[in-house]
Structure 1
Amino acid sequence: MMKQIRTSRLLCLLALIGLAGTASANLAKPVYTSAKDEVKAMFKTERDKCDSLAGNAKDVCVERAKGQEKVALANLEYQYTGKEKDRHHYLESRFEARYKLAKEMCDDKSGNAKDVCVAEAKAEHDKAKADLKANKAVAEAESDALDAKLKADYKVASERCDALAGDAKDSCRASAKARYFQ
């Protein structure tokens, strides 16, 4: 009974963390540390459940638990810091965990069926990796375009300010700098 309460409490905490992280990094250090400890404990319990299994079923169970733990910890880290680098690591850990699990599941097969299964897992992994890379490139291009637009708009506003004199000119320039983030 206590285990069920703890697990449901952790799942609620992770859901709240997910909601909190959508806006920005909102976790306080004690909440982050506590959640991290609970994630580790929960997934240790999940891995321990795998001991009752044998063969590839045990390997699949262990790989699933390890993957879920890595993804949960990466998500928690991203929710705590809000850094783009941690977001990238979280997304990467998701497709890495799926790939490792899919490969482990292929071990139940043999011959050509296993080869096809491994090839499909690798293809999905490569597609996810390519999508992540493409999305990163698009985000960088959009950021560069926005910077160029702001600089161009600032230049025009600055030229307009040159027609003024004294305090009006200073005020105009300060306003333009603030408006165009210069």
Structure 2
Amino acid sequence: MSAAATAATPEAKALYENAKAAAAAEYKAARSRCDGIAGNPKDVCIAEAKAARVRADADATAQYRNTLRAYTKARVDIANADFALDRARCAALTGNERDVCVERAKASRTTALADAKADKKVIEARSDAREDKRIAEYKVAAEKCDALAGTAKDQCVSAAKSQFGY
């Protein structure tokens, strides 16, 4: 996932800026719809608007940057926004129901954060394994070239280097 490949293009930057602007406009519209509501439903409405904006912004940023770090950060930001929304919904409840709701919200957030972290580690491990395999395959190809001599060996080594990215 190369950031230079995607983020450098003017089209990608324009898409990113359009997505951010659309998210801001949608948030503003959603927020204004909340003005006619009072009490906890208003808080929930505002939290829903914020969560939608965070989701749109995070997705746009992750796609624009196109890095593992950006995608992981997007998932964390979305998990935190969803947690804030769940907390707002829990505020309408009382007693044990509220406590259960808050614990459920915390559990959902913890699960989402753990999944994001685990996915990042899995992707990194696969990338490392792919690199290790590439190195091993290059060594095999280079060893096969040792049986040759002169120009044939040079061509074989050159072909192996180009095939495996050296």
Could you say whether these structures have the same fold, taking a TM-score greater than 0.5 normalized by the shorter chain as the test?
yes
1:39 is matched with: 23
Equivalent in 80, 100, 116 of residue 64 of structure 2 = 80
Q: Does 1:153 pair with 2:137?
A: yes
1:14 is matched with: none
Q: Does 1:65 pair with 2:49?
A: yes
Amino acid of the residue matched to residue 100 of structure 1? A
Amino acid of the residue matched to residue 51 of structure 1? D
- RMSD of equivalent CA atoms: 1.7
Query: 1:35 & 1:141 partners in 2: Cα distance?
Result: 32
Matched-pair identity in %: 42
Q: Give TM-score scaled by structure 1 length.
A: 0.80
Shift of 1:81: 2.5
2:86 is matched with: 102
Shift of 1:157: 1.0
Shift of 1:64: 0.7
Q: Measured at CA, do residues 85 and 116 of structure 1 come closer, stay the same or move farther in structure 2, by a change above 3 Å?
A: same
Deviations 1:135-158 (A, max 9, x none): 111111111111111111111111
Tell me if structure 1 keeps the 8 A contact 2:87–2:102: yes
Q: Structure 2: where are the runs of 5+ without partners?
A: 1-5
Q: Structure 1: where are the runs of 5+ without partners?
A: 1-23
Number of equivalenced pairs:
159
Q: Measured at CA, do residues 29 and 143 of structure 1 come closer, stay the same or move farther in structure 2, by a change above 3 Å?
A: closer
Query: 1:164 & 1:157 partners in 2: Cα distance?
Result: 12
Query: 1:56 & 1:80 partners in 2: Cα distance?
Result: 36
Q: Measured at CA, do residues 138 and 31 of structure 1 come closer, stay the same or move farther in structure 2, by a change above 3 Å?
A: closer
Q: Give TM-score scaled by structure 2 length.
A: 0.87
Q: Measured at CA, do residues 87 and 115 of structure 1 come closer, stay the same or move farther in structure 2, by a change above 3 Å?
A: same
1:133 is matched with: 117
1:18 is matched with: none
Q: Does 1:112 pair with 2:106?
A: no
Query: 2:86 & 2:48 partners in 1: Cα distance?
Result: 9
Bigger mean CA offset, 167-176 vs 120-129: 167-176
